[in-house]
Structure 1
Amino acid sequence: MPPEYAQLLMKLVKYGVVGGFGVAVDFSLTYLAKEKLRLNPYVANAIGFSVATCVNFFLNRIWTFRSHDPAILGQFGYFALAAIIGLGLNTLLLRWLYQRWKVPFYVAKLISTGVVVIWNFVINAFYTFA
């Protein structure tokens, strides 16, 4: 395997580990907001997704992509923009699966999250942290 593919594969693995942690943060906060605070499920989803995005940015910046770019706010802006687009995709797919296909909410959220992870990795690997 060429070294650049090995490096990309290692980044993908690290991204997956960070993403797993982010999913735990996302699902925990979504559950708390939806079930305990009784917020609208889509608002709860946005809260969980948003906090997880912030956590993921810092972990990916430091560990996955080892970025030392001093323009951290600009970099976060690109990361956040990708995440906002990802949130839109996540919410549309979640709503489609949950309301139209009657997939249980958290199963639909898991599927939606998996799709968005692919989007986010590609954008962040080749643009945000390039």
Structure 2
Amino acid sequence: MKETLTRIDSLMSGIYKDYMKFFKYMGVGVIGTAADWLVFYALIGLADIFYMYAVAVSYFVGMVINFFLNKHFTFNNKYKKVHFQFLSFAFVALIGLGLNEALLFAFVHYIFSSSSDLALMASRVIVTFMVFVWNFLANKHTTFKIFQ
């Protein structure tokens, strides 16, 4: 009985740690996403840059912010060779960017059939949540697990 309780306690502790990492990752994601969206809307609104180019630039800005905050805050990662870790994070983010671009295009042109500001904003919100899940799982199991 005591072994069973110990196993349950260990399992619950692991689940709690995973949830805490997920919530920290979400908090960091909000900061990175805010930077991403601010740059995105500045580029399309002030600089009149095509939205598909703007999303690539803004996504990169958010990615850099997310990397450093997740490394130090979410995963408390002490790995010294930051360049290797950043390359792994960037690779995951590059796949995320591809998903972001493809899904954004699909939502704007096929689902909403409009490139109005409202359709663009709604598409960004939906796509951001979809890509967020990919980025969390990929970084948790590669970038911040392999490079410890």
Q: TM-score, normalised on structure 2?
A: 0.85
Aligned partner of 1:64 in structure 2 is 74
1:14 maps to amino acid: K
Aligned partner of 1:95 in structure 2 is 105
Q: From the CA coordinates, give the structure whose radius of gyration is larger.
A: 2
2:98 maps to amino acid: G
Partner SS, residue 134 of structure 2: helix
Which residue, 53, 57, 65 being the options, matches 1:43?
53
Aligned partner of 2:124 in structure 1 is 109
Which residue, 18, 21, 34 being the options, matches 2:28?
18
Aligned residues: 130
Cα offset for 1:57?
A: 0.1
Cα offset for 1:82?
A: 0.2
Q: 2: distance between equivalents of 1:110 and 1:26?
A: 12
* Structure 2, gaps ≥5 residues long: 1-10
Q: Which runs of 4+ in 1 moved over 2 A?
A: none
2:17 maps to amino acid: Q
Aligned partner of 2:6 in structure 1 is none
Aligned partner of 1:126 in structure 2 is 141
Aligned partner of 1:82 in structure 2 is 92
Q: 2: distance between equivalents of 1:95 and 1:61?
A: 31
Q: 2: distance between equivalents of 1:121 and 1:111?
A: 16
